[in-house]
Amino acid sequence: MKKKPNILFLMSDQHRADVTGYEGNPVIRTPHLDRLASTGAVFRNAYTPSPICIPSRQSMMAGQFPRTTGCETFGQDLPPGHMTFARRLSQYGYQTVVSGKLHHTGTDQMMGWTRRICGDMQTEPGYIEGKQEDEYAKYRVPSQKWPQPKEVSRAGVGRGQCISHDEYALEGALQFIDDYFNSTYYDREQIQPLLLKVSFLQPHYPYFTSEEKFTYYLNRVSPNFNEPLFDHPFLSKFRVHAGVDATERDIRRATAAYYGMIETIDGYFGQVMAALEHVGQNLDDWIIIYTSDHGEMLGEHGVWEKQKFFEASARVPLIIRYPAGFQGGRTLEENVNLCDLFATICDLCGIPAPEGLDSRSLEPLMAGDSAGWDNETVSQFGGTNLMIKRDHLKYQYYDTDGSEVLFDLARNKEETVNYMADPQYAEAVAQFRERAKELRF
């Protein structure tokens, strides 16, 4: 029987796709991600299934859209025992190990992982014994985050809880690698194939970084100051107005800190890969995946954080490297989704994917065959907001007020014009509306 490949799944939180060297950002230093990109497949149009942490992560793990999983908002989780790609691989003999953030909030904190080294930063009442979330609202601890203007104004040099958590997750991963491959006690060859996920919180706010990185980026970044708000009640939320909500210097400091956090996790990824090579692993035989759960507005359109269907928030970095399986050094433009990773991992490992997935294998695209690809992807937020992207058109529906937005990225990549009323898009709009009904919106 052919030996199944080991998998290294690297993940961050809130990393917007264009703050990477391989996407052409002239300021950020990401040598390790750039190396993966130069020898792997880069998906330039990869999107989150939900532009917020929990639904995005659980949809990715389940290979299903948020409406399918029932995990559509921040305080929910997958039902206990739900099928995830970690559970599927463990059924087929994989050791499934994670160090770092998973963001489960319910009673099933493993969700198919056979070993968790470093747990999450926080948990909230979520899916508990099949009961409704609101039954536990009175026990919920208030959020510790500041409003967006205060998060920006407090940014700069410091540590923050994300940094301490990530240092712990990194150390756990490095110790595991040494124990698993190089145990001086048992001194035996690896028997089981391994899925190792290393998942960091940075560059999620609070925006803090080291003094060295902060001072390097402070006068190199190009902050977004007072960009005009988009005329929509939801897309204009989370505004930070320079000179009113925060100073321009505050915004520059927050941007520099964000860049520093990205460089930090890039260095962590480098340490993990170096540790694997140190114990004799040939990374050309490994499947290596890098992604993030969603992006960061970083002041574009005058707003910060995530939740929006703008490119800065909804598009994510996605690299898959597997020299033993496909030729690298390629950039793919098709619309894909984090949900697609479930079927892709199964396909690359020769494992049958379970029924009921919204996931599509990316393996044909990586092999150069895009003939049968349906160039559509979907993102949802909060059970009320929907995005459908087909080719270069991005349609949005907001159930709270029935409003609709249509962007044409080929015509207006800045996403400043709503083309819903333009007659030339009438047929496309009708198709998007039908698709929204199919998605139960």
pLDDT at 104: 82
pLDDT higher for 290 or 118? 290
Q: Which residue is it, tokens 């930063």? A: 121
Q: What percent of the chain has pLDDT over 90?
A: 83
pLDDT of 331 over the 80 cut: yes
* Per-residue pLDDT tens over the stretch 179-202: 999 876 777 677 789 999 999 999
Give the pLDDT mean for 265-274.
98
* Per-residue pLDDT tens over the stretch 423-437: 999 999 999 999 999
Give the pLDDT mean for 204-227.
96
pLDDT of 394 over the 90 cut: yes
Distance CA 149, CA 332 (A): 37
pLDDT band at 140 (very low <50, low <70, confident <90, very high): low
* Per-residue pLDDT tens over the stretch 350-360: 999 999 999 99
Q: Is the pTM of this model over 0.85?
A: yes
pLDDT at 118: 83
Quote the tokens at residue 197: 């996920």
Q: C-alpha angle with apex 281: 279 to 286, nearest 5 degrees?
A: 145
The string of DSSP codes covering 249-286 is HHHHHHHHHHHHHHHHHHHHHHHHHHHHHHTT--GGGS
Q: Check if the beta carbon of residue 65 is closer than 8 Å to that of residue 78.
A: no
What 8-state DSSP symbol labels residue 176? H
